[in-house]
Structure 1
Amino acid sequence: MEDPIPRVNFETMQRYHGKKVTLCCQISQIENGQVRVMTADKGEVTVVGGATPYEGRFVEVLGTVANPNTIQEIEHTNLSDNFSLDMYNELVKLSHKDAYMGMFST
């Protein structure tokens, strides 16, 4: 059985170098196979390696943390344009508290 894949924002992503994570974010720029995104806690991350097109403003990325500012994409899901990054950020903060660890992982 695989380890749970944690949901992260920019701050918590830093703890998972080399590990799989799930990141919901807002697309800022797409250029030359790289996607610049803004995380729910206003960090900037580059997503690399995606093969399918991004559509809309928000996306959920499953990938491996390559360095503090980069995720190597495994896959992504385009989200509705009315997705709330603020609510997602609250979910991430709760999911990283000891009492709830693992409860919100994918």
Structure 2
Amino acid sequence: MEDPTPRVNFETMMRYHGRKVILCCQIEQIENGQVRALTSDKGQVTVLAGSSPFEGRFAEVLGTVVNPNTLQAIEHTNLSDNYNLDMYNELVKLSHKDAYIGQFST
């Protein structure tokens, strides 16, 4: 059985080096297959993009953590332009509390 895939923000992403995570982020710039993104807790990350294009302002990325601020995308979903990153950040914070570990993972 595979480990659950945790939802992360900038603060929690570094705990999962080499593991798959889910990150919702705001797309800031796309250049040469790399996406500069703003996380729900206002951190800057680089997403090494896969083959499908990022469209719109927000995306949910399933990827592998390369280092504390880089994610290698496996796949992503383009989200609505009115996605609420603040609410997502609250979900991430709750999901990393001991009482809720694993309940918000896929």
- Give TM-score, length-normalised by structure 2: 0.98
Once the two structures are superposed, residues 19-58 of structure 1 have per-residue CA deviations (whole angstroms, 9 ceiling, x without a partner) of: 1000000000000010000000000000004110111100
Which aligned pairs between 1:1-106 and structure 2 lie closer than 5 A?
Answer: 1-106=1-106
- Structure 1 spans left out of the alignment, 5+ residues: none
Kept after mapping to 1: 8 A contact 2:58/2:78: yes
The aligned length equals 106
SS at match of 2:91: helix
Deviations 1:56-93 (A, max 9, x none): 10000000000011001100000011110000000000
Distance 2:69 2:103 in 1: 25
1:56 aligned counterpart, secondary structure: coil
**Superposition misfits of 4+ residues, deviation over 4 angstroms:** none
List gaps (5 residues or longer) in structure 2: none
Instruction: Report SS of the residue matched to 1:99.
Output: helix
